[in-house]
Amino acid sequence: MPSDQPAWVLTRRELVGARIRDARVKANLSQVELGNRVGADHKTIHRIEYGTSDPGLGLLLQIAHAVDVPLADLVR
């Protein structure tokens, strides 16, 4: 299904997802464990990490807190 987002938005979303994935791994958390900490299932975490889901600010804040990384470092 084609996206209505510009290509640069999709690229940035993938980069943010990769940063989240790296921070989760450094925090020694599985997708399931991170999901439990932020109130999301592991499938949602997977979609965020691979750029196929667009998380809201609230969820991004919870993820940043759970992996102990400033939000700015995840979305820069």
Asked if the structure places residue 68 within a domain, the reply is no
> What total of structural domains would you count in the chain?
1
Q: Cβ–Cβ contacts within 10 Å for residue 37, how many?
A: 17
CATH code: domain of residue 37: 1.10.260.40
Domain around 18: 7-62
Phi and psi angles of residue 7, each rounded to the nearest 5 degrees, phi first: -55, -35
Amino acid at 23: A
Q: Measured between alpha carbons, how far is 4 from 76 in angstroms, rounded to an integer?
A: 23
pLDDT tens for each residue of 38-56: 999 999 999 999 999 999 9
DSSP state of 51: T
pTM value is 0.92
Q: Measured between alpha carbons, how far is 63 from 35 in angstroms, rounded to an integer?
A: 9
Give the residues of the chain that fall short of pLDDT 70: 1-3
